[in-house]
């Protein structure tokens, strides 16, 4: 399986996928930490995370795959939602909680 196929399989195989630096318990950058907090506050539990610092091939190829240059990258139902700023905007508007509730059991 190529790295692009693996990325697609992760996105297809999970309702919510967050490609981030670090882990939810130990985020390795402020943007990843804020995104995880927004997801938590929106009621997201049990979503898939991938630590791009431990997956150099994903880190190198995901920006080309998604046409989004930075991390973190949040996907919901196979669709790129965006990075930290967009996730925070969605959270502040209440939209993130609605999106999460539709796809995850809290």
**pLDDT tens, residue by residue, 44-62:** 998 999 999 999 999 999 9
Reported pTM: 0.95
**pLDDT tens, residue by residue, 65-91:** 999 999 999 999 999 999 999 999 999
Checking DSSP bridges between strand 48-51 and strand 16-20, what pairing results, if any?
A: parallel
pLDDT band at 106 (very low <50, low <70, confident <90, very high): very low
For the four alpha carbons of 64, 6, 57 and 73, in that order, the dihedral sign comes to: positive
């Amino acid at each position: 399986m190529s790295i692009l196929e693996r990325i697609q399989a992760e996105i297809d195989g999970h309702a919510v996928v967050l490609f981030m630096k670090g882990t939810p318990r130990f985020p390795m950058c402020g943007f990843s930490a804020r995104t995880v907090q927004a997801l938590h506050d929106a009621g997201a539990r049990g979503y898939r995370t991938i630590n791009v610092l431990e997956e150099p091939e994903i880190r190198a190829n995901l920006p080309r795959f998604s046409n989004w240059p930075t991390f973190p990258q949040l996907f919901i139902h196979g669709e790129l939602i965006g990075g930290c700023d967009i996730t925070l905007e969605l959270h502040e508007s209440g939209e993130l909680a609605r999106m999460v509730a539709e796809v995850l059991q809290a």
